Structure 1
């Protein structure tokens, strides 16, 4: 189990080994290709997901691109990619069962794997993100 930052917000899980965007997306750049997913904070805010529209492997994305559409009973929100690169894999499991993202956002609920253009994307540490997500 990974270490996480405690927060006054219930159910806010912020694993310290990941980096984060202010748009509530996490990145694990310690592996190649890097893994990208939705934070627990965003998943809790959206509620139970009912549909996830994934991009295609091979697509090139820039930081700031809206690359995934997440639909819950509450809202439809884009996932804004915090990094630039080429998408190598998408998690088809979350398209088949979107509740995986809500139930395990840092594990089986990952969204995509991307070959990064920049080895040092401009992201927040767990501590910085926990302050943003309060």
Structure 2
């Protein structure tokens, strides 16, 4: 897998060249607690890197989901709308949020790999 991480605790998997998959990290879901609602981005809309693309709400707090790269949302995880707890039980697989067609794949180079993300978490 080609997973990269943002400082805002999103992950992006670019293994599928057609559409990268985006979700929140294990750390993010641990900090949020039980997820009770997700507001997913609009399919077909183009977002800029760093733009708010959705919201996740838990029993503790609400948090914005930021677009990790420039791109167009091509699919959202409808199962997550019906069962938001998937973000807690399986955040790196069935709990994904949306898929994005990358405008510039080189933007992922600026994101952290697992080692870099682990170092970030240790510094918090």
Instruction: Indicate the TM-score class for this superposition, using the shorter chain for normalisation.
Output: over 0.9
User: What corresponds to 2:61 in structure 1?
Assistant: 75
Q: Which runs of 5+ in 2 are unaligned?
A: none
Give me the whole-angstrom Cα distance separating, in 2, the residues matched to 1:92 and 1:23.
Answer: 23
Give me the whole-angstrom Cα distance separating, in 1, the residues matched to 2:2 and 2:105.
Answer: 16
Q: CA deviation at 1:120?
A: 1.7
The DSSP-based 3-state class of the residue aligned with 2:54 is: strand
Give me the whole-angstrom Cα distance separating, in 2, the residues matched to 1:74 and 1:93.
Answer: 22
Asked whether the 8 Å contact 1:17–1:126 carries over to 2, the reply is no
How many residue pairs match? The answer is 119
TM-score (norm 2): 0.92
The DSSP-based 3-state class of the residue aligned with 2:118 is: helix
1:95 paired residue among 81, 87, 97: 81
**Once superposed, which parts of structure 1, at least 4 consecutive aligned residues long, lie more than 4 Å away?**
none
Give me the whole-angstrom Cα distance separating, in 2, the residues matched to 1:17 and 1:47.
Answer: 27
